């Protein structure tokens, strides 16, 4: 399984209907009124509008239909993701009314939210062409998501404008901006597409990250990586070792990619695919499956080996370790995420000892492991294909704090390892500061550890740059012709003393 629940987006998702019959005529009238309003007075950027919390208006008996309700949820989720650094899925879970939407409408909401983040830089540029002054964040979120629907998801303009404006009318602090938003959105639906060409897709990556990728990989490669932000990734699954991968591949219309990984062009409803309820496989990006394959290849076998999977949840690597025969102790400090790990172990009929604990403060009676896998918390920028919000919900100060935490976690892990054992350090960040640089600094300080050079030749078929100087580094630009892969870093260290 991947780091977060699947939020795959598809340009084909259809917008929810308002559920109130045809409202085109009403909307036309409303649109004319709003345009008149927009022309007759400037939008009021008053204090209340800036500070006010958004509250759905239900006092006059006017309820939102599912179309407007969906737009309201999308805009609030965008605000939450941006302001609180959470994932799309977690932000949506927090929104009132999200669970009351139909399955189809929830898929629509996920899709629009993801595409708004995939196209953030392009949308920002286009909105600038129509806005004299930037309105408050909720209004910007409405405008951004409406632009995503109209320009990139090609949804019917009347629905996009009408439902977005209706959503605003339900929010006290937004009502003063309705006229302006209506006018801006109409202009965007009419002429916004003409600006798309002016902003290449690498502008969808924030400058501070693009700069680091340029320093780490060069300007051209950084742009190749950034271009993948707008591509819809395939679905990768890891198949249990006793399951016949070729047969399963045929059954679920997938292609074998590497080792136990199968790839389907689109996710669809994964729970309906053959083998899901039987626990024959779990969702896991190809790149994310490589650290365990590398360790397995390096050790030859996991039989009789006690492996600590530190920072284990939601558990893709725990499942792999257990499936390949290791005795696994999975540690994570998040009870909520460990619950998902437990559910997946049960579904796949695999076993691990699960411990809720801070790796920085491991229980004394845990003892030392034969081998350790540390999948450290990181900026997760390597997962932007499925989670485009990672590019915007983390800021430079968050990266600095994570780098400090990774250092401390490496130290804690090194103490929980028996001499002669291996410590596999991995992250799903694209920045070398969280991968290569961490290992260089660690080895400088620790003469009791050395780098075990990864030498797997079979991996070179995937991409010739995948292993450099004995270290694994994948990038979303690798094999983009076949659907690409997440960005991942892995080094295997040996404790000599």
Ligand X SMILES: C[S@@+](CC[C@H](N)C(=O)[O-])C[C@H]1O[C@@H](n2cnc3c(N)ncnc32)[C@H](O)[C@@H]1O
Residues 6+ apart with CB under 8 A from 402: 377, 378, 379, 434
Encode 111-130 in three state secondary structure. Answer: HHHHHHHHCHHHHHHHHHCC
The answer to whether 312 and 265 have CB atoms below 8 angstroms apart is: no
* Cα dist from 436 to 293, 426, 446, 451, whole Å: 20, 10, 15, 12
Strand partners, 239: 281
Q: Would you tell me how many other CB atoms lie within 10 Å of the CB of residue 355? A: 18
Q: Would you tell me how many other CB atoms lie within 10 Å of the CB of residue 250? A: 11
- Give the binding site for ligand X (CB under 6 A): 1, 3, 311-317, 332-334, 337, 358-360, 375, 377
Strand 449-452 and strand 255-258: the pairing is: unpaired
Nearest C-alpha neighbor of 442 from the set 374, 367, 357, 358: 374
Rounded CA gap, 118 and 112, in Å? 10
Rounded CA gap, 152 and 192, in Å? 11
Q: Three-state DSSP class for 260?
A: coil
In the complex with ligand X, which residue's Cβ is closer, 143 or 355? 355
Tokens of 414: 């090194």
Upper half-sphere CA count for residue 249 (Cβ side, 13 Å)? 14
Rounded CA gap, 53 and 478, in Å? 44
The angle subtended at Cα 118 by Cα 115 and Cα 124, nearest 5°, is 95
Burial class (CB in 10 A: 0-12, 13-18, 19+), 11: exposed
The answer to whether 459 and 467 have CB atoms below 8 angstroms apart is: yes
In the complex with ligand X, which residue's Cβ is closer, 358 or 445? 358
In the 8-state DSSP scheme, what is residue 56?
A: B
In the complex with ligand X, which residue's Cβ is closer, 124 or 334? 334
Rounded CA gap, 146 and 198, in Å? 19
Q: Three-state DSSP class for 331?
A: strand
Rounded CA gap, 84 and 28, in Å? 37
The angle subtended at Cα 24 by Cα 135 and Cα 59, nearest 5°, is 60
Could you tell me the smallest distance in angstroms from the CB atom of residue 295 to ligand X?
Answer: 13
The answer to whether 57 and 169 have CB atoms below 8 angstroms apart is: yes
Q: Three-state DSSP class for 240?
A: coil
In the 8-state DSSP scheme, what is residue 245?
A: H
Strand partners, 423: 372, 493
Nearest C-alpha neighbor of 260 from the set 226, 296, 298: 296
Tokens of 4: 């977060």
């Amino acid at each position: 399984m991947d780091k977060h629940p699947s939020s795959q987006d598809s340009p084909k998702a259809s917008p929810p209907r308002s559920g109130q019959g045809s409202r085109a005529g009403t909307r036309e009238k409303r649109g004319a009124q709003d345009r008149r309003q927009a022309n007759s007075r400037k939008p009021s950027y008053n204090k209340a509008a800036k500070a006010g919390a958004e509250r759905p208006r239900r006092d006059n008996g006017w309820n939102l239909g599912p179309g407007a309700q969906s737009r309201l949820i999308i805009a609030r989720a965008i605000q939450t993701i941006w302001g609180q650094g959470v994932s799309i899925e977690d932000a949506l879970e927090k929104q009132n009314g999200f669970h009351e939407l139909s399955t189809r409408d929830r898929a629509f909401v996920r899709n629009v939210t993801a595409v708004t983040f995939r196209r953030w830089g392009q949308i920002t540029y286009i909105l600038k062409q129509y806005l004299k002054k930037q309105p408050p964040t909720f209004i910007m979120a409405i405008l951004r998501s409406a632009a995503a629907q109209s320009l990139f998801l090609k949804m019917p303009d009347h629905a996009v404008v009408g439902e977005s404006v209706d959503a605003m009318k339900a929010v006290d602090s937004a009502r003063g901006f309705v006229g302006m938003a209506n006018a801006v959105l109409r202009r965007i639906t009419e002429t916004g597409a003409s600006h798309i060409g002016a902003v290449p897709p690498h502008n969808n990556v924030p400058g501070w990250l693009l700069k680091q990728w340029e320093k780490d990989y060069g300007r051209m490669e950084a742009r190749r990586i950034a271009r993948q932000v707008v591509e819809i990734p395939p679905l990768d699954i890891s198949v249990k070792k006793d399951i016949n991968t070729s047969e399963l591949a045929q059954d679920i219309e997938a292609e074998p990619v590497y080792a136990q990984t199968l790839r389907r062009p689109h996710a669809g409803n994964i729970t309906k695919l053959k083998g899901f309820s039987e626990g024959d496989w779990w969702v896991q990006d190809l790149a994310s499956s490589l650290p365990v394959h590398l360790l397995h290849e390096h050790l030859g076998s996991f039989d009789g080996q006690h492996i600590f999977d530190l920072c284990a949840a939601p558990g893709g690597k725990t499942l792999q370790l257990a499936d390949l025969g290791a005795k696994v102790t999975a540690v994570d400090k998040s009870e909520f995420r460990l619950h998902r790990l437990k559910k997946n172990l049960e579904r796949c009929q695999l076993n691990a000892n699960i411990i809720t604990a801070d790796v920085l403060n491991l229980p004394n009676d845990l003892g030392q492991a034969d081998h350790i896998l540390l999948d450290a918390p990181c900026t997760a920028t390597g997962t932007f294909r499925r989670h485009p919000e990672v590019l915007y919900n983390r800021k430079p100060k968050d990266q600095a704090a994570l780098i400090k935490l990774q250092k401390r976690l490496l130290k804690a892990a090194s103490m929980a390892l028996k001499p002669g054992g291996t410590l596999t350090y991995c992250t799903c960040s694209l920045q070398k500061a969280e991968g290569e640089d961490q290992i260089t600094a660690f080895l400088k300080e620790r003469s009791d550890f050395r780098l075990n050079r990864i030498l797997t030749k079979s991996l070179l078929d995937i991409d010739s740059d995948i292993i450099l100087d004995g270290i694994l580094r994948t990038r979303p630009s690798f094999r983009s012709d076949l659907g690409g892969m997440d960005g991942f870093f892995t080094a295997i260290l040996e404790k000599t003393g």
